[in-house]
Structure 1
Amino acid sequence: MQQRLIQEQALQWKMNQSLLQAIQLLQFSSAELMDYIKEVANENPLVEDVETNYDFSAYNRGNDTHPDLGDINPAEVSMYEKLKGQLFTLDVPENMLPIVNYGIDSLDETGYLSCELKTWAEDCDVSLEIAERALSIIQSLEPVGIGARSFQECIILQLRAMDEHTNTEIAANVLENHLEWIANNEVEMIAEEYGLPEKDASGLIDNIRACHPKPGNLLASQKANYIIPEAAIVKEEGQWKISFYKWSKPTITINHSYEKMTDLEKIEKDYLKEKRQQIDWLNQAISYRVNSLERIIRQVIQKQFMYFDKGVEWLQPLTLKEVADELDISISTVSRSIQNKYIQTSSGVLPIKFFFPRGIEQKNGKTTAAFAIKQIIATIIQTEDKQKPLSDEGIRQKLSDDYDIDIARRTVMKYRKQLRIPSSMKRK
């Protein structure tokens, strides 16, 4: 009975490891995916070949023109902005947002909380309980470990997400008192000290080593040197279709010569089995990544078909929740899938996030994409009489008369300023 329990725990750990890898690959761009696979290939002797010889830089040189659609090119985004960007995937009460944002702004660059909860509560004029609730929201963000108040808490948060069977009390004690045992792989010492089977002690060490001590570094600001699309949206026989590039679906070839080796020791067989399992997991994660992305892009085409047919003025408001509900997946899966991903369109290479514009509710009850309204305003101003430029009220009236868009004058002024277009007086 005891043996069966241990086997189930080991299986659960493997399943969690496989799931974590799938989630990790889901948010990789094509370039990051290829780099990751190369790392695996370098240390896995069973990998015979990987189709990684795609010249990204050559593609970029041949496709270095981008549409003038506003600020859609990648910019440097800080760790703090990335974390705040995740909040919209959570059901955070509006009155909690300023408190949570305060906590995010109080993290150091490695992702640890740099202020005391008491100070946090006092500065936000809330109770300690509410500050703790805000901290729990931050600690639910990715990467796991963000918002920890100590190294031990950072690792424990990751262990809980990684493997529900890990004894976090023992793990916390080891981290507090015997960190050198982890560094030196002292399986026997841990097993003896805490009365664990050596297999469990070894698993504990592996799990702790798999954790990242500075999760904030995973969100370090990085500016892309080039943009590589995952797929192209092309029209064939009157239908919009998806064509994935080869680098989005790399193929890993296994060297099967090891299967002919019959005189291996058990430790060698176990090693090769582990490496084969690593490749199987990686292939599954790659398939999960591309399948998830394809389903989401298909939904984007379906929801934004008027944009593809007629242009940017027809872009519709779209939320991650709408797509998640249609596909019966979580909002966080959609968010991860489109992170840092681009697609080739007839208008150029665009981030997939471009197709999830915020909607603005008009006076007449209709909802229109804010981005589309901005582009229409830009077009109106470009074609206006240069001797008699339109005032913000004039633009508002033209939006209503010509485009059936009914918004306030102050909204027109706000969008005009965001487009960096001067007032009518300065346009004369």
Structure 2
Amino acid sequence: MQQSLVLKQALSWKMNQSLHQSIEILQLSGIELYDYVQKIAEENPLIEDIRPIDQQVLTQFHGDSNAFENMNASKKNMYEQLKENVYMLSISEESIKEAVLFGIDSLNENGYLDITLEDWAAQCQLSMEEIQQALSYLQSLDPPGIGARTLQECIHLQLKEMDCDYPFLEDLFENNLVLIAEEDIQDLAKTYAITDDEAGRLITNMKLCHPNPGKLLEDEETEYIIPEAVVFKEEDEWRLSFFHWSSPQIQIREDIVLDDMPKDGADFLKEKKKELEMLDQAIQYRGKTLEQVLRIIVNKQLSFFEEGITALKPLTLQEIADVLDLHVSTISRTISHKYLQTDFGILRVKYLLQREARKGEGIARVVVKQYVQKIIADEDQTRPLSDEKIRRKLEELYQVYVARRTVMKYREELGIQSSSKRKRRTD
């Protein structure tokens, strides 16, 4: 009986080790994967060589003459990583961008905002309305949960990213967290009038939330943006092609004969061989999953590659997960730190996932924001349009139907002031 228990524990440990490695490798970029395998090679004598990323790749994407082995010499802390990602945001007003950067500097090591909005506004000499805009930009940065002021807000921000943003979450946090702790699906469903499936998904996603998102950005090696694949048009058909560096090729030594070794040495090498087999399986799984996910994204967004940003379609992690019968966290890890080379430049894969502006309308939020920005750019600056008039213009020009409050929200996220503050005098 004891022997059986030990065997089960050993098997369980092996399975957990393999699963952990697969999850870890899944979220690595091509460069990070190469570096990961290089470190394993230092401890595994069976690895003879790894096909490197050649110098031509670095020159093509960065014009950098440094050798690949020296690329990751420097490291970035949480604050530096977040500031580098601010350039991904469309912030039209410099004062708001500066406020976002100030907000990043005001985070504690766990990623929580360590300053009140009132003090933030005073320090940046901005209004509370403008600071709310800056907070919205800050909280849109990766990883989800960054910029939260409380644990509840941190979890809420992460659930929103998972498309699990229910109107009753505030009440759940304050009064019924025991339902989550006890994984009471039936009572949770009954209390908030949702299905058992929705309750189960909410419980699962809450367990996946990280209480300290800043810890996910602890000093990491400098990230060099090199795409995993290229999207291009050939003979009137859009194609997805992966670069060879997306999956490193491991060359195994063939000159080691186990029969000629002492038992201890042979056992050691057998264990190292098993480790390589698990590594190979994990790399194969990463490659297969990444290809499946990217093909779904590219096929969904073909109109974007043809026409540009205004043709982006709504697409969520959950939709992809449903198609592939995988958990949403697996999809999230798969696209983490991944980039595509396109006719529009090198794009973060996550950019091609957009939430719907209004359920059932089939139009992405980022597209509506572009329309709002264009309408305001074309307005008579002596008679700027109110949010209600912008709403009507959206209906008239683009057949987009959203509420006035939605227009106001998007305008603020774009860093555009209200009509009264945009008005330009003629005298």
TM-score by length of 2: 0.66
Listed as ranges, the matches of 1:394-409 within 5 Å are 394-409=389-404
Q: Give the conservation status (yes or no) of the 8 Å contact 1:34–1:52.
A: yes
Q: Give the conservation status (yes or no) of the 8 Å contact 2:33–2:247.
A: no
Please state how far the C-alpha of 1:79 moved relative to its aligned partner: 8.0
Aligned partner of 2:313 in structure 1 is: 316
Query: What secondary structure, in the 3-state scheme, does the structure 1 residue paired with 2:42 have?
Result: helix
Distance 1:312 1:240 in 2: 17
For structure 1, list consecutive stretches of 5 or more residues without a partner in the other structure: 101-123, 148-214
Alpha-carbon spacing, 1:11–1:222, altered in 2? closer, same or farther (3 Å): closer
Q: Give the conservation status (yes or no) of the 8 Å contact 1:78–1:220.
A: no
Q: Give the conservation status (yes or no) of the 8 Å contact 2:144–2:158.
A: no
Aligned partner of 1:70 in structure 2 is: 90
For residues 174-201 of structure 1, give each alpha carbon's deviation from its aligned partner in whole angstroms, at most 9, with x where no partner exists. xxxxxxxxxxxxxxxxxxxxxxxxxxxx
Question: Is residue 369 of structure 1 aligned with residue 418 of structure 2?
Answer: no
Question: Is residue 246 of structure 1 aligned with residue 318 of structure 2?
Answer: no
For structure 2, list consecutive stretches of 5 or more residues without a partner in the other structure: 65-83, 92-136, 148-153, 184-202
Distance 2:229 2:403 in 1: 39
Query: What secondary structure, in the 3-state scheme, does the structure 2 residue paired with 1:235 have?
Result: strand
Aligned partner of 1:141 in structure 2 is: 208
Aligned partner of 1:157 in structure 2 is: none
Listed as ranges, the matches of 1:105-124 within 5 Å are 124=174
Aligned partner of 1:129 in structure 2 is: 178
Distance 2:63 2:10 in 1: 49
Amino acid at match of 1:357: Q
Distance 2:423 2:263 in 1: 80
Alpha-carbon spacing, 1:138–1:300, altered in 2? closer, same or farther (3 Å): closer
Aligned partner of 1:288 in structure 2 is: 285
Listed as ranges, the matches of 1:231-310 within 5 Å are 231-258=229-256, 260-310=257-307
Distance 1:142 1:128 in 2: 14
Amino acid at match of 2:34: M
Q: Give the conservation status (yes or no) of the 8 Å contact 1:67–1:348.
A: no
Amino acid at match of 2:315: L
Aligned partner of 2:44 in structure 1 is: 44
Alpha-carbon spacing, 1:141–1:239, altered in 2? closer, same or farther (3 Å): same
Listed as ranges, the matches of 1:143-182 within 5 Å are none
Please state how far the C-alpha of 1:50 moved relative to its aligned partner: 0.9
Amino acid at match of 2:14: K
Q: Give the conservation status (yes or no) of the 8 Å contact 1:74–1:223.
A: no
Distance 2:309 2:178 in 1: 47
Q: Give the conservation status (yes or no) of the 8 Å contact 1:76–1:222.
A: no
1:81 to 146, 151, 154: 146
1:379 to 367, 374, 380: 374
Query: What secondary structure, in the 3-state scheme, does the structure 2 residue paired with 1:359 have?
Result: coil
For residues 368-396 of structure 1, give each alpha carbon's deviation from its aligned partner in whole angstroms, at most 9, with x where no partner exists. 21111001222233344455543333322
Please state how far the C-alpha of 1:59 moved relative to its aligned partner: 4.5
Aligned partner of 2:110 in structure 1 is: none
Question: Structure 1 stretch 380-389 or stretch 409-418: which is displaced more?
Answer: 380-389
| Aligned pairs, number | 331
Please state how far the C-alpha of 1:296 moved relative to its aligned partner: 0.8
TM-score by length of 1: 0.66
Aligned partner of 1:111 in structure 2 is: none
Distance 1:361 1:249 in 2: 39
Distance 1:279 1:57 in 2: 28
Distance 1:92 1:412 in 2: 20
Amino acid at match of 2:248: P
Distance 1:418 1:403 in 2: 20
Larger Cα Rg: Structure 1 or Structure 2? Answer: 1
Question: Is residue 26 of structure 1 aligned with residue 99 of structure 2?
Answer: no
For residues 136-181 of structure 1, give each alpha carbon's deviation from its aligned partner in whole angstroms, at most 9, with x where no partner exists. 86883277xx79xxxxxxxxxxxxxxxxxxxxxxxxxxxxxxxxxx
For residues 56-102 of structure 1, give each alpha carbon's deviation from its aligned partner in whole angstroms, at most 9, with x where no partner exists. 754442599x99873799996468439745535486865345765xx
Amino acid at match of 2:62: R
